[in-house]
Amino acid sequence: MSAYSEHMVLVITSEEEQPRVLTVGPIFSPLSRLEEVHITRANVPAIGENSFWGLTHLRLLNLTHNNVSSIRAHHLAGMRTLQALHLDYNKIDSVSSATFMSLEKLEVLTLANNQLRGLTPRMFFLLSSLKTLDLSGNPIRELDPEVLKDLPSLRILRCANCELTRIRAQVYKNVIELEELDLRDNKIEILSAEEYIDLKYLKTLYLDGNRLFELRDNIFRGLGLRFLGLSRNHMEKISRSAFEDSTVLALDLSSNKLGFSAIRHLYSISEHIHELNLSNNKISPHHMSELLKRASRLKQLDLSRMHLKALPPDFFQAQAKLASLNVSKNNLKFLSVETLHSLPNLQKLDLSDNNIQGLPEVVLRRLDRISQLYLSHNPWNCDQCNIPYMKTWINNSKEFRDACVPNVDAANCLKCQLPVEMFDKPIIEVDGLSLQPCPEGSLVSLHESGSSSTFTLILVVAISSVVILLLVVILFVGIIMYNRHSAFYYTHENDARCHFYDNPGLQSNHTDVTMAEDLDKIQQVEVDEPLPDPEIGRVPKDSFLPDSVDADEPSVEASAELQQTLRLAIERRKKRKAPMPNATS
C-alpha cells in the first residue's frame, strides 16, 4: 500500500501474476483528505457497509479487476463528492434500483465487463449529473428506455459487446444530449430510416462489428458526425441517400465487402472527409481514384490490405493536404517519385509488408522528408541494383541505422531476403564487394519504378512510332491499289474483237480464240461469199458458210455501217491474196 499525502492519492494493487486478497471495510476514515483511491487486482470479494464513509474529498474511486459480485446503496454511502466510479472487470450480476442515488455529483460510471444480464428500471435514479456511462461487455441484450430516463445530462453511452439486436427509438428520446454512442460488436442487423434523428448533438458513432449488410436511405439524416465507425460488418451495399443531409469528417469502412456500386454513394460526403479508412475491401484502383478525386480535404488515408499492385503517379493528385498514408499489406513492388511529389504534406507513410525489393535514390531522397516511415517486412534484394545507395541512405538515417543496434529483430531493422545466402542479414552489414550482379532486366525495372516520367516518355515515343509506321504502311498500300486500278493490262481480247469484225463469217463456240486459228479460217472463205441481206438480216441458207457456222442459226444483224465494214474487209483480203507483180514485166 502506498499513500501520497501531497497528492491525496491511495493506490493498492498487485502484479497480475501474484494477486493480493483484500477485504474492504471502514478503514479509510483517518485518511479523510484522500481525493483518489485505487484498489485494483486485489481480489476484493465485496464492498463492506460504509467502507468509504468520511472521505469527504474523494473524487475518484477505482475498484477495477476485483471479484465484487454485488453493489448496494449502503456500500457507497458517505461519498457525496465522488465524481468518478470505476467498477469494471468484476463479477457484478445485478444492480438494484436507486443504488447510486447518494452520488449526486457522479459524472462517470463504468460497469464494463461484468455479468449484468439486464438493467433494473430506475437503477440510475437521481444521477442527473452523470455524463459518461459504460456498460460494455455485459450480456444485456436489450436497453430498456425506463433505465435511461434518469440521465438527462448523459453525453457518452458505451454499450459495446452487449449482444444487442436493436435499440428502440424511445431510448434515444431519453438521452437527447448524447455526443458519443458506442454500439460496437453487437448483433444489430438493420438500422431504420432516421434512426438517430433525435440525437442532434451526436458527434461520434461506433457501429463496428455488427451485421449491417446494407446502409439504407436516410439513416444518418441530420447528423454532423466527427467520426463514424462501420468496419467489420460484411457490408456490401450503401444506398444512394444513406448520407442524405449529413456530414462525416472521419469514416471507417474497413473490413467490409464494398465495391464501386457502394462507394460511389459516398461522393456526397467525400468533399468534407478528413480521415478515411477503406482497408481490406475489394475496390479497384480505378474506382478508388474516382472517389479520391473528390476527397481533396483528406488528411489521413488507410488503404492497407487492398491487393494494390501499384500506385499510379496521379493516384493522389487531389490529396495535397494528406499527412498520413497507410498502404501496408499490399502487393506493391515499387513507389514512384511522382506519387510522393503529389503529397507535399505527408508526414507518416507505412509501406511495410509489401513486395518492394529496392528503392531508387530519387525516391529515398524524397522519403527523408517524412518523419514517420515504416518499411519493414519487404523482400529486400541485396544485389548491385537495389542496395548500394539504400545502404548509404540507412547509414544516414538515425531511425533505421540505430534500429538494428542492439536488437536486429526490431521492426525498422531492414534485412535482406534475397539472395538466399544473405537471407535475414541486416542491410547495414552488407559488404558492397560481395553484392551479386543485377539479374537481367532488374536495372530497367528499377529505373521504371524510380522514374515514371522517363517511362512515360518512352511509352509516348513508342506509341508515336507505331502510329507513324501504320500511317506509312497505309499510304504505301493506297499507292499500290491506286496504280493497280489505273494500270493497262494487255490481252488478246482486243485483237480477237477486231479480227471478228474483219471476218464476220467467223463464229466460234468458245472465247479463247487465237490469231492463228482465225487466220486459218479466213483463208477458207471465198472472195465472193455473199453478204447478209439487209432486208432479212440473215445470210441465205444456200450461201456458202464456213464449216464453223450453223446455217440454221441467225447471223450478225445487218446495218449500213456493218456492210461497209465487211466490204472493206473483203477488199483488204483480196489485196492480200493478189499475186505479187513480176519484177521483169
Asked if 426 and 462 sit in the same domain, the reply is no
Asked if 353 and 444 sit in the same domain, the reply is yes
Asked if 378 and 444 sit in the same domain, the reply is yes
pLDDT band at 158 (very low <50, low <70, confident <90, very high): very high
Asked if 518 and 415 sit in the same domain, the reply is no
What amino acid is encoded at 313 in this protein? P
DSSP state of 564: H
Q: Is residue 573 part of a domain?
A: yes
pLDDT band at 329 (very low <50, low <70, confident <90, very high): very high
- What angle is formed at CA 433 by the lines to CA 428 and CA 436, rounded to 5 degrees? 90
Euclidean distance between CA atoms 178 and 493, whole angstroms: 104
Phi-psi region of 280 (alpha: psi -120 to 50; beta: other; left: phi over 0): left
Q: Is residue 552 part of a domain?
A: yes
Q: Is residue 314 part of a domain?
A: no
pLDDT of residue 49: 84
Asked if 423 and 532 sit in the same domain, the reply is no
pLDDT of residue 211: 97
Euclidean distance between CA atoms 136 and 86, whole angstroms: 13
Asked if 416 and 479 sit in the same domain, the reply is no
Q: Is residue 176 part of a domain?
A: no
pLDDT tens-digit readout, 41-77: 989 888 888 888 888 899 999 999 999 999 999 889 8
Look at residue 426 and give its three-state secondary structure: strand
Asked if 341 and 434 sit in the same domain, the reply is yes
Q: Is residue 393 part of a domain?
A: yes
Euclidean distance between CA atoms 476 and 468, whole angstroms: 12
pLDDT of residue 310: 93
Strand runs labelled E in 383-428: 416-418
Q: Is residue 468 part of a domain?
A: yes
Asked if 458 and 445 sit in the same domain, the reply is no
The number of distinct structural domains making up the chain is 3
- The alpha carbons of the chain give a radius of gyration, in whole angstroms, of 49
Euclidean distance between CA atoms 365 and 356, whole angstroms: 17
B/e letters for 394-424, b = 16+ CB within 10 Å, e = fewer, are beebeebeebbeeeeeeebbbbbbbeeebee
- C-alpha to C-alpha distances, 270 to 72, 243, 391, 403, nearest whole angstrom: 50, 11, 41, 39
pLDDT tens-digit readout, 90-134: 999 999 999 999 999 999 999 999 999 999 999 999 999 999 999
Q: Which residues contact 328 (CB under 8 A, 6 or more apart)?
A: 304, 305, 350, 351, 352, 353, 354, 374
pLDDT of residue 446: 42
Residue 43, class by beta-carbon neighbours within 10 Å (0-12 exposed, 13-18 middle, 19+ buried)? Answer: middle
Asked if 338 and 380 sit in the same domain, the reply is yes
pLDDT of residue 554: 45
Q: Is residue 237 part of a domain?
A: no
Asked if pLDDT for residue 548 goes beyond 70, the answer is no
pLDDT of residue 331: 96
166 closest CA partner among 143, 139, 133, 132: 143
Euclidean distance between CA atoms 348 and 72, whole angstroms: 50
pLDDT of residue 157: 98
DSSP state of 74: G
Asked if 434 and 370 sit in the same domain, the reply is yes
Handedness of CA 309, 312, 315, 319 (dihedral sign): positive
Element (H, E) at 275: strand 275-277
282-306 mean pLDDT: 95
pLDDT of residue 52: 85
Euclidean distance between CA atoms 291 and 340, whole angstroms: 19
Asked if 446 and 465 sit in the same domain, the reply is no
Instruction: Give the mean pLDDT of the chain.
Output: 82
Asked if 390 and 471 sit in the same domain, the reply is no
DSSP per-residue string spanning 17-53:
TS-----B-S--GGGTT--EEEE-SS----B-TTTTT
Q: Is residue 54 part of a domain?
A: no
Percent of the chain with pLDDT over 70: 76
333: CATH: 3.80.10.10
Find the domain containing 463 and state its range: 454-484
